[in-house]
Amino acid sequence: MNKNASVEKWVEETARLTRPDRIVWLTGSDAEYEQLLAEGVRLNQLIPLDSAKHPGSYLHRSHPEDVARTEQNTYICTPVRGDAGPTNNWMDPAEAYDKLRRLFSGVMKGRTMYVIPHLLGPPGSPFSKVGVELTDSVYVAINMQIMTRLGTVALEHLGDSHSFLKGLHSCGTLDPRQRYICHFPQDLTVWSINSGYGGNALLSKKCFALRIASWLGRQEGWLAEHMFITGIEDPKGQVTYIAGAFPSACGKTNLAMLRPTGAYSGYKIWCVGDDIAWLRVGIDGRLYATNPEAGFFGVAPGTSPQTNPNMMAAIAKNTIFTNVALAPDRTVWWEGLDLPADIKGFLDWQGRPWSPNSGQKAAHPNSRFTTPIKQSPVFTPKWNSPEGVPISAILFGARRSTLVPLVCEAFNWQHGVYLGATMSSETTSAAAGATGVLRQDPMAMLPFCGYNMADYFGHWLKIGRRLKAPPKIFRVNWFRRDAHGRFLWPGFGDNMRVLKWIIDRCYGTAGAQETPIGYLPSINSLDTDGLNLSGQGMEELLAVDRESWFKEARRQTEFFGKFGTRMPAELLLEQQMLIDRLSVQAQRT
């Protein structure tokens, strides 16, 4: 493999600090992957699963206190505090480097340091970036083989260039009190220590492809977003691509791989990505998306042949499962799958005996699988298209048990940016902390924006001004509940009904009614044939309750207030126009 002088120099410097016993450069070959798996088994980090039922697959059990992203330990270390903004933790870069240098000093003694060059985006694309992660975790090395375009392809793309994203990671002692995930966007650098969990340790993902990339995107005029990318092919063969930002564990993967059934069985879905999208303005004035990743790091609980048959097919082989339950026949299980008749000898995610009466979850609620995107039955070679796919609609979706309707279309790009910027969602187990708590999560990027979010909103508006044919923007919410806590909307495959309305709106063929919050489906324009909805059904799912929206608007004002004068005037204007529209409606009724 031809090595790059800057990468080599940096690897040597880092080795002097961390003192590994061995340094292994990964090339991405199959033989190397097999060796890594064998090493994972040798170190008791991987348990081989049944080779007939789960070929090439393994279970990993993490430290019980290292099961999710820890936002309280995640920092944006910009020279000026205001550039990180009020929604990010901030540390002075010199102080952060100093503190972490102490923690990294000698930390890899007795361990192997893996050098993991990877390409973020399709090969041959001028928009792709090269990242290099140095880690002492074989579990990270294995997962990076699945999650990224790894090895030679990346170094070839880099050539002699000095510009690459530098990530240093060590599991350290896994001490949660000494855990730091520090980002230095001005140096294209991330240092992460004392966690082995996906979003904290697979630096290609949230650290590089979102936090650092969002910063780069602002400098270079593009967007790095927490979005799936998927194509919907109609029975005539026309493919419409959509992208959608939903907060963690709010349904991106499931929507991106949806299997249309019933009246929609003539449609096909083509999944380009399930978590991260890089968006650029094309020469034709449309928005184009590429996926910087090569795998899925998906939520296990709730994934089943009923909810997501495409994902079940994808994870049938060559998959790493983390923190799910283990059956005595070396198969895996999680909540949402049918329970086998005989559950004798089941072990929970921590390896403790488990039965359905134990009152505990068998799989951790944030247990996950890592699997190559190419194994998905809805894989499309467009994933590797250097220019990306043209986006017709952007969806902003959140977990809201009340208020926010099933679907709502923005009046225009600026209003769409407002809908994204005012998104709030009930928290999930993808991040440590309480679940079900409503919090603002603009564009599903609250934990992932590498700079001041007021500037980020401004950047979205600026991109909009460059688009000749901007995608339409929609808010969606699959998570409304009735008084008994049951979901009002069946979700999953039935979300196709909403996608159909969205696509028809893009082509101007579906009806809508104007409301103060945006365009909602007019009666009968959204297909409810054969659905048996609980409660008031569609009426409830599409209601716009004025009083509650006033309250919601007041919450937004408070949130925008945090950004002071940095907040773009356009969004404050949108806020005022919403209040005005609600007031006019109030006078009419």
Binding residues (CB under 6 A) for ligand SPV: these are 69, 198-199, 205-206, 248, 275, 297, 430
**Long-range residue pairs from 280-285, CB within 8 A, at least 24 positions apart, any chain:** 280/127, 280/221, 280/222, 280/223, 280/388, 281/221, 281/222, 281/463, 281/466, 281/467, 282/387, 282/390, 284/468, 284/469, 285/466, 285/467, 285/468, 285/469
Rg (the chain; Cα; Å): 23
Least separation in angstroms between CB 144 and ligand GTP = 17
Site string for ligand GTP, 491-520 (x = CB under 6 A): xx--x-------------------------
> Which of the listed partners (ligand SPV, Mn ion, ligand GTP, none) does 495 bind, with a CB threshold of 5 to 8 Å by partner kind?
ligand GTP
Active-site option among 171, 207, 250, 271: 250
> 112 or 307, CB closer to ligand GTP?
307
Q: In the window 266-285, what residues touch ligand GTP (CB under 6 A)?
A: 274-275
> Which of the listed partners (ligand SPV, ligand GTP, Mn ion, none) does 298 bind, with a CB threshold of 5 to 8 Å by partner kind?
ligand GTP
- Which listed residue (114, 222, 246, 560) binds ligand GTP by CB under 6 A? 246
> 36 or 276, CB closer to Mn ion?
276
Is 251 one of the binding residues for ligand GTP (CB under 6 A)? yes
Distance CA 575, CA 418 (A): 8
The residue to which tokens 């039965």 are assigned: 355
Per-residue CA distances from 439 to 422, 458, 546 (Å): 10, 21, 21
- Which listed residue (91, 213, 410, 430) binds ligand GTP by CB under 6 A? 430
Count, residues near Mn ion per rule CB under 5 A: 2
Per-residue CA distances from 271 to 39, 193, 198, 253 (Å): 32, 33, 21, 9
Least separation in angstroms between CB 275 and Mn ion = 4
Cβ–Cβ < 8 Å for 249, 301: no
Site string for ligand GTP, 173-192 (x = CB under 6 A): --------------------
Site string for Mn ion, 236-275 (x = CB under 5 A): ------------x--------------------------x
Least separation in angstroms between CB 396 and ligand SPV = 15
Distance CA 428, CA 251 (A): 11
Q: 287-290 and 277-281: which strand pairing?
A: antiparallel
Least separation in angstroms between CB 206 and ligand SPV = 5
For 584, how many CA atoms within 13 A lie in the half-sphere containing its CB? 8
Reference 226, options 273, 176, 192, 276; nearest CA is 276
Rounded to the nearest 5 percent, the helix, strand and coil shares of the chain are: 35, 25, 45
Residue environment code for 303-332, b if the CB has 16+ CB neighbours within 10 A, otherwise e: bbeebbbbbbbbbeebbbbbbbbbbeebbb
Active site residue 250: yes
Largest Cα–Cα separation, the chain: 75
> 380 or 427, CB closer to ligand GTP?
427
> 216 or 430, CB closer to ligand SPV?
430
Distance CA 122, CA 135 (A): 24
Binding segment toward ligand GTP, per CB under 6 A, in 57-65, 113-121, 447-455, 485-493:
485-493
Cβ–Cβ < 8 Å for 379, 426: no
> 307 or 585, CB closer to ligand GTP?
307
Least separation in angstroms between CB 494 and ligand GTP = 8
Is 301 one of the binding residues for ligand GTP (CB under 6 A)? yes
Is 310 one of the binding residues for ligand GTP (CB under 6 A)? no
Residues of this chain that interact with ligand GTP (CB under 6 A) are 246, 248-254, 274-275, 298-299, 301-302, 307, 430, 478, 487, 491-492, 495
Catalytic residues: 250
